Structure 1
Amino acid sequence: MSLKCLCCFSKEKEQRHRRNVDDKKNIRDYPWERYTLKELLRATNNFHQDNKIGEGGFGSVYWGRTSKGVEIAVKRLKTMTAKAEMEFAVEVEVLGRVRHKNLLGLRGFYAGGEERLIVYDYMPNHSLLTHLHGQLASDCLLDWPKRMNITIGAAEGLEYLHHEANPHIIHRDIKASNVLLDTEFEAKVADFGFAKLIPEGVSHLTTRVKGTLGYLAPEYAMWGKVSESCDVYSFGILLLEIISAKKPIEKLPGGIKRDIVQWVTPYVQKGVFKHIADPKLKGNFDLEQLKSVIMIAMRCTDSSPDKRPSMEEVVEWLKDGVLKRKKDIPNLSNKGNEENDENYEEFVTMQSNNLKILSDNDGRKMR
């Protein structure tokens, strides 16, 4: 063999080795399974009703077990429409870009004929919604430490989407049913069908309103103006929901609706924070942590998007207030007693007046 041929052979071998290394790296970074429709039908017992573990506007989610014994969750989109196709494409696109311990990862997907299936890890402890308002609510499996750990985990997942993912990602549907819990009750933010990718240098987008009533930021619900701060607002609502086990919007006698911020504000004004905590906790919570998290939630749900914190700040404040308990939340009083200072009283009074916008506009079309 000539020297020229040896050089060519050596170069080709080196390129092949580099491709193999790259392929292995990609497999490690994106460990997607190659599923067939037959495999997923077998795993879910032909999408049997007994296997159904969730349902929404997008379709249904089924529990399954693969031939290797791995438990999975399979999202099966409804009859294919342009809208459903778009949501499928968006979710697969977004999940292909993100990897974080507090985001529900993609195991794989199937797209063929009229079927669009997305496969995830199965979360045995279901969703926050199930524990706060659903079939597991009466069991009160979420004690105070678990709730605080869930808030930090969900916040870190959102922080990753807003500040580390490239391009940045706005979730647009942060709510209790989209925070799933693994075997250790670690939070996994899920359902990216409404997500928006934000190009670098763009502060906000104007788009058709998607999401769930009660969690929507006022500027988004009214004008379709979406930015990271919309997720921050939704997260603030979620914080109050986790603490109190109250729904984001409740119906009062006479058909009147009241959102959770309107409900919580008078208690904060009076300094009776302990009355905000879920009664099922039976007083088993840290009062200082409770105050800190409520104050963070009030900042997140400011009616002005410019005054809301970033998720980076929220994560820092949560860790300080829950894990360290050393620092005050900026510009908010966090005293050891239950008295309010004048600045904070003015702040929550403004919240009470301004945050009626969602209930005043709940007739708007959304999911």
Structure 2
Amino acid sequence: MAGAIQFLSLWMLASVQAISMVLAQDGNHFVHYDFRKADVYVDGMASTKDGRLKLTNSSKRATGHAFHRTPIAFVNSSFSFSTEFVFAIVPEERTSYGQGMAFVVFPSIVDLRYGAATSYLGIFNRGNDNKTENHILAVELDTNASSEALEESDNHVGIDVNSIVSVESKDASYFDDTVGMNRSLVLASKQRIRIWIEYDGENRLLNVTLAPLETTKPRLPLLSRSIDLSKIFKEQMFFGFAGSTGTIRSHQYILGWSLAIGGKAQSLDISQVMDLPRPPRNHLPLILAVASVVAFLIIAGGIAYLYQRNRYAEVFEQWELQYSPQRFSFRTLYKATKGFKENRVLGAGGFGKVYRGELLDGTGIAVKRVSHGAEQGMQEYVAEIATMGRLAHRNLVQLRGYCRRKGELLLVYEYMVNASLADRLFDGDNLSWSQRVHIVKGVSSCLHYLHEGWGKVVLHRDIKASNILLDENLNGKLGDFGLAIFHDRGATFEATRVVGTIGYMAPEVTAMGVANEATDVYAFGVLMLEVVCGRRPVEPERSPGQKILVEWVASCGRRGALLDSVDSKLAGNFEAEEAMLLLKLGMICSQIDPQKRPTMKDITEYLEQKKRIPHISFDTAAFGIPIVPIISDETVTAQGSALSFASFLYDTITVLFRGR
């Protein structure tokens, strides 16, 4: 009896497995002409009411999905498949096509429920776009003319892998075998178009071919991409379609669909493919409704436009029209930086991040991306564009242009291949003595130009090693004019807030909030000491007498051992006379009395040895020692948050001056 029961159980199990295999085989290939009879799941705008599979309707900013109700298992590990379908896109407007549609292969129904409308085609959204865990392949038929679209054309076919940004795309066309050339094809032409998508798993090749309905399959595909879908697909995947609308709408149809897994899809019988539905005869109610909506949108848009223009008119008139450096499109900068990826970040600070990029001609650029909510705000960046757009000196970082989009500003500079002076002094390859002297002289010449080469004085106000960038020949170039100001010659600028970097700010800046040529000279003096000594202006981890660079060099001078402060990394390979000149000149610039500091013209002539440097007594001279509260392990509040010394020491800070 027990043996009989065991035999019956095994027979039932084998029967169930056999039935499952048959059902799976049937599900691995199918042909649909009337989608009311098809095992298809639809959501959103999609419907199959009249037998046609309609993905979108007149709804705005909405999505529609349709897919085979059960997942399809691949018959082998090659993941080969073939599909053929007929589609048509009918735009509601003559001049704009709206969004597009796509054939999609995806692992889970849940994956598409959160697909966004407009440019995301109902497949992806801001949160999951470009994620490897998506496991999604899509062939997009994109008619999007929006400026948000990253492809150049509003009539293209693209292959998407885990992202709405295509790995390959081309303008829609088909190969005419009779004449041996490509003919263009308008996707949103209100005509039925046939498309073949075939993946050869053994050769890892994906081909996409399309042609008008009555045309036989061309021998050359439009897209042919080498791709390993075994790294993207799971063992079971859903097959189907997705479409979306924006403010401009189109009606998207699937009129016939054939699919096969592991083999060639059955060719569609075009005599069984449904025609497009006839348009309604009476268009007057629709026209009136659309006209009312359009009129409302025009009025609302006009009000919004006037509001925005009035809000930003002064800013636009002040710098975008008057100074007008080259304007880049956001699309150009997006492509140049590979989508502003993190591995392209050169640096970050209170203003935002800086990204490395390459233009189409191979020119290297650095893109500083800043939002309206950045720590120091848009006003400083307007000053940077205005200043840099008008200044010209070989030791100034060249501003190539800008881009302004959606509340953010992007500044485009020439790319400095050797990073900053701070990077080379403290983190990278050591600089030789001659290279250091060459950099100091270049920056001195630049500051001389800023102070005296213009009708007005240009104060930089944030001279420091990290703002000195180095080109391929190690020429020092002064950059970051976010705090720069103009003022009349001989005048003193009185600020309502103290700005600058701790260690480089002259005593009168922190005490009285004043800024003039002498405060830039003080910062340049500290920079010279930093270059010669290979030490930062303030190093809290050192012993009390050595924490502040100016104070330590003064102590070396008082005991007659000034050259002991030269950077030990040079291993004695330096010119003693030049070192003494730079150290003494740095200390002369660091005197507490601004009247005793030389001008940048004098400094340039001292460095070129056209004038004799004045004598300085380390025993009697009074030097401006920076007030650094961090020496007693305190914290300072900068930009509204309490920060430790390590987190803000060499970044620009802003402090209100006496509550004003």
TM-score by length of 1: 0.80
Structure 1 residue 201: Cα displacement: 4.7
Q: Distance in 2 between matches of 1:204 and 1:271?
A: 38
Establish whether residue 330 from structure 1 lines up as the match of residue 614 from structure 2.
yes
The residue that corresponds to 1:346 in the other structure is 619
Question: How far does the alpha carbon of each residue in 1:56-107 deviate from its partner, in whole angstroms, 9 at most, with x for none?
Answer: 1111111100011110010111454694211210100111220000111110
For 1:42-62, what per-residue CA distance to the aligned partner results, in whole angstroms no more than 9, with x for missing partners? 000111111111111111111
Matched, 1:150 2:434: no
Change (3 A) 1:69 1:281: same
Aligned partner of 1:303 in structure 2 is 592
SS of the residue 2:393 aligns to = coil
Give the whole-Å Cα distance in 2 for the aligned partners of 1:277 and 1:74.
36
- The answer to whether the 8 A contact 1:61-1:75 is kept is yes
- Larger helix proportion of the pair: 1
The separation in 2 between residues aligned to 1:255 and 1:283, in whole angstroms, is: 26
- For the residue of structure 2 that corresponds to 1:120, the secondary structure is strand
Alignment of 1:36 onto 2:326: no
Instruction: Write the letter of the residue equivalent to 1:301.
Output: S
- TM norm structure 2: 0.46
Closer, same or farther: CA 301–361 of 1 in aligned 2, 3 Å: farther
Call closer, same or farther: CA 1:108–1:265 in 2, change over 3 Å.
Answer: same
Is the 2:492–2:514 Cα contact (8 Å) retained in structure 1? no
CA 1:281 to 1:31, structure 2 compared with 1: closer, same or farther past 3 Å? farther
Q: Is the 8 A contact 1:108 1:118 kept in 2?
A: yes
User: Which structure 2 residue ranges, 5 or more long, are not aligned?
Assistant: 1-322, 639-652, 655-660
**Which residue of the partner structure matches residue 183 of structure 1?**
472
- Structure 1, unpaired ranges of 5+: 1-29, 333-343
> Aligned letter for 1:110?
C
Distance 1:361 1:204 in 2: 28
Alignment CA distance shift 1:126-1:82 (3 Å): closer
Compared with structure 1, are the counterparts of its residues 65 and 345 closer, same or farther at alpha carbon in structure 2 (3 Å cutoff)? closer
Q: Quick one: which of 417, 420, 427 aligns to 1:124?
A: 417
Mean alpha-carbon deviation: is it higher for 277-286 or for 245-254? 245-254
* 8 A Cα contact 2:502 2:626, kept in partner: no
Larger Rg computed on CA atoms? 2
- Residues 172, 195 of structure 1: 8 Å contact kept: yes
Instruction: Indicate the residue corresponding to 2:526 in structure 1.
Output: 237
Q: How many residues matched?
A: 314
Residues 1:173 and 1:253: Cα distance change in structure 2 (over 3 Å) = closer
CA deviation vs aligned residue, 1:145-165 (integer Å, no higher than 9, x gap): 000000000011111111112
Change (3 A) 1:316 1:254: closer
Correspondence for 1:260: 549
Secondary structure, in 3 states, of the residue corresponding to 2:498?
coil
| Higher-strand-fraction structure | 2
Q: Residue 275 and residue 82 in structure 1: after superposition, are their counterparts in 2 closer, same or farther (change >3 A)?
A: closer
**How far apart in 2 are the matches of 1:253 and 1:289?**
27
- Please give the alpha-carbon distance, in whole angstroms, between the structure 2 residues aligned to 1:31 and 1:158: 24
Conserved in 2, the CA contact under 8 Å of 1:35 and 1:110? yes
In the other structure, the counterpart of 2:503 is 214
**Larger RCO (alpha carbons 8 Å, 6+ apart):** 1
Correspondences of 1:63-74 after superposition (within 5 Å): 63-74=356-367
8 Å CA contact 1:217–1:230 kept in 2: the answer is yes
Is 1:76 matched up with 2:369? Answer: yes
Q: Is the 8 A contact 2:546 2:552 kept in 1?
A: no
Distance 1:201 1:280 in 2: 41
Instruction: Give 1:271 deviation, angstroms.
Output: 2.1
1:313 to 579, 602, 609: 602
State the percentage of identical aligned residues: 36
Partner of 2:217: none
Shift of 1:258: 2.6
Q: Which residue of 2 aligns with 1:110?
A: 403
Question: 1:336 is matched with which residue?
Answer: none
Partner of 2:575: 286
Q: What is the SS of the residue equivalent to 2:615?
A: coil
Q: Does residue 358 of the first structure (1) align with residue 627 of the second (2)?
A: yes
